[in-house]
Structure 1
Amino acid sequence: MKWSLLFKEKMKAAIILVALMLAIIISNFFEKRLASRNDFTVSSIFEDRLQPSTDLYEMRTLNDQRLFILEEFLHANSATDRNRLNEKMELNHSQFDQLLARYQTTFLVAQERELLQQLQKNLRQFDNAFAQLSKAQSGTLALQNAKNNIYQTNTHLGKLNKLQSQIGKQLLAQYKKDTYYSSFLNTFQILLSVCIGFIILKMVSNSSLLNKFDKKINLN
């Protein structure tokens, strides 16, 4: 009877032990997922937020330079001056496009994609206005349209830059949250390991009692 009771206790301990081990495996799986997401978050903060903020600032600087080029263009008196300014604008355009292309390769949220479409529309309108200005077609109107597009482009660049900060803060908050959960899971696993150790000790102790009980039976 006593042997049967000890056997049942041993089986119960074994079942609990298996359950605890499964809990450790599952918690370890979630901890790894959190760690992987943290790696992505840290990478995204730099590659998708900090670097684009720098690029957007440079794009805004290049966009401001276009105003000066337009003013020079307005007062250009010779074909040579106009050609020089056209080359200057082409260089500006090339540098701007490189930064914009790099920004487009980053992870973009829906609001960014929407602002980016508006930005690209403004850029196309500016190109058309500048092309008209270069050909001296309705110069005053083309100049005003070009300036308006520059102002609108700056507005969209400013909104995109502000968005980087907002999303960066959200990513940082998510990182802190995931770090907390990861720490909790790690502590949970340690506690489970302690419980497993305690159960193993108890099983060993019960096994010793069972051996002593068997010896008494054999002696009798």
Structure 2
Amino acid sequence: MDSIFSNNLKVALVLFLLMAGIIVSNIFEKKILEKSKKATESIYLDRLQPSTYLFQMRQLIADRVFLLERKENDSAYSVYSFKKDLQEIDNKLSILLEKYEKTYIVSEEEVFLKKLKRDIGILEEKSGYNLQQQEELKPKIDAINDDLGELIKIQSKIGEETLAEHAKITSISNILNVVQLILATLIGVFIFALFSKKKSSLNKIDKHRLN
């Protein structure tokens, strides 16, 4: 009797450990999937979207140069229209900068972002209305484009790191899935073996009774 109880206890303990393994791995998998979700959101919200803002800002800087060239070469383009269009570009730049600042900024980005804001501020403050003045501001325009270029590089770099982290998380999740499958299979095999053993014991008892 004690032997049967001891065997049943061992069986229960093994099954408990296997089930506990599945539960623990499931908890870890949920946490990992949550990290994966955040990493995916970060790729879009903190990397892809800001990159779009940067490219749009670069285009707006190019539009500024185009406006001045148009003013000089198109006699039908009035000073009023020029100033109005220029103000519209400045407003769009300000909006994009505000949006960019609301995204997740790493320390490396902060350096170039401060420089970018300062350079854009100088450009807007000293914006020339003729080609000569624009030529004087050309180094500042080049500096702004350099700032934007550096920020775009950082976005790409951080984006690659985030993608690598996402791939790592996915790999761990796949491993946990395999572990859960193995544990579930072991439980099935163990239960099958247990019932087979009991059935064999019952058959022996029946044969013994018949004899």
Q: Same fold by TM-score, threshold 0.5 exceeded?
A: yes
Tell me which moved more, 151-160 or 106-115.
Answer: 106-115
Q: Distance in 2 between matches of 1:154 and 1:175?
A: 31
Match of 2:65 among 60, 64, 67: 67
Q: Superposed, which structure 2 residues align to 1:100-139 within 5 Å?
A: 100-130=97-127, 133=128
* 2:182 is aligned with 1:184: no
Query: Cα distance, 1:69 vs. partner?
Result: 4.1
Identity within the alignment, %: 31
SS at match of 1:29: helix
AA aligned opposite 2:154: L
> Is the 1:129–1:145 contact (alpha carbons within 8 Å) kept by the matching residues of 2?
no
Unaligned runs of 5+ in 1: none
Q: Distance in 2 between matches of 1:127 and 1:180?
A: 49
> Is the 1:24–1:192 contact (alpha carbons within 8 Å) kept by the matching residues of 2?
yes
AA aligned opposite 1:128: E
Query: Cα distance, 1:164 vs. partner?
Result: 1.8
Match of 1:172 among 160, 163, 166: 163
Unaligned runs of 5+ in 2: none
AA aligned opposite 1:110: S
SS at match of 1:106: coil
Partner of 1:21: 19
Query: Cα distance, 1:207 vs. partner?
Result: 5.1
AA aligned opposite 1:29: I
Query: Cα distance, 1:32 vs. partner?
Result: 1.5
TM-score relative to the length of structure 1: 0.77
Q: Distance in 1 between matches of 2:205 and 2:103?
A: 72
Query: Cα distance, 1:113 vs. partner?
Result: 2.5
Q: Distance in 2 between matches of 1:108 and 1:15?
A: 51
Q: Distance in 1 between matches of 2:115 and 2:136?
A: 16
AA aligned opposite 1:44: S
Provide the aligned length of Structure 1 versus Structure 2.
207
AA aligned opposite 1:26: V
Partner of 1:151: 142
TM-score relative to the length of structure 2: 0.80
SS at match of 2:17: helix
Partner of 2:95: 98
Q: Distance in 2 between matches of 1:193 and 1:72?
A: 73
* 2:39 is aligned with 1:41: yes
SS at match of 2:44: helix
Q: Distance in 2 between matches of 1:29 and 1:195?
A: 19
Match of 2:8 among 7, 10, 13: 10
> Is the 1:122–1:149 contact (alpha carbons within 8 Å) kept by the matching residues of 2?
yes
SS at match of 1:10: helix
Match of 1:89 among 64, 86, 108: 86
AA aligned opposite 2:110: R
Query: Cα distance, 1:209 vs. partner?
Result: 6.9
AA aligned opposite 1:105: K
* 2:50 is aligned with 1:52: yes
Query: Cα distance, 1:62 vs. partner?
Result: 0.8
Q: Distance in 1 between matches of 2:126 and 2:60?
A: 17
Q: Distance in 2 between matches of 1:33 and 1:211?
A: 46
SS at match of 2:3: helix
